[in-house]
Amino acid sequence: MDALGGTWLRNLFGTKLWMVVPERLMTDQDWVDFSKAGSSWNLGTKSRAIILSPSDIFFIPPGTQIIHVVLTLETCLMDGGMLWDELTLLPLLQTIHWIGRNQKVTNKALPFQTGDVLN
């Protein structure tokens, strides 16, 4: 999962495969299992494949908890960033809090400045 949510990506060239688990398919037990296993959690039949070709844009809205695994299928260049908006502030803060308590679920630690920004 992305530590801060609100991710957008644009594929400039090449091909990437994203395996995602939509939030709506996760059960309470899945979240517990994922928080314990982290990157070794098995996506199983809940995952969906998304292939990003040149000019494709992929967006994970802020405040959503989307588990994902990315595989570069051929040399690729991506552009992207993160965004927050005031309409999703509460779910975003809940997601940041959950990730902060379950660091195994992300490959990027919360930024050092997160506490200051949230204050």
For residues 95 and 5, is the Cβ–Cβ distance under 8 A? yes
4/75: higher pLDDT? 75
CATH of the domain at 18: 2.60.120.650
54 lies in some domain: yes
47 lies in some domain: yes
Look up residue 54 and give its amino acid: P
The whole-angstrom separation of Cα 45 and Cα 24 is 13
Which token pair is 66? 């989307």
pTM score, whole prediction: 0.76
Q: What is the pLDDT of residues 70-103, one digit of tens each?
A: 999 999 999 999 888 888 888 888 888 888 888 8
Look up residue 60 and give its amino acid: I
| Segments forming the whole domain that contains residue 15 | 7-118
Q: What is the pLDDT of residue 113?
A: 78
Q: What is the pLDDT of residue 61?
A: 87
Q: What is the pLDDT of residue 85?
A: 83
| Number of domains observed in the structure of the chain | 1
Q: What is the pLDDT of residue 55?
A: 96
1 lies in some domain: no
> Is 114 a residue whose pLDDT tops 80?
no
Beta strands in the chain (DSSP E): 7-21, 48-52, 57-60, 67-82
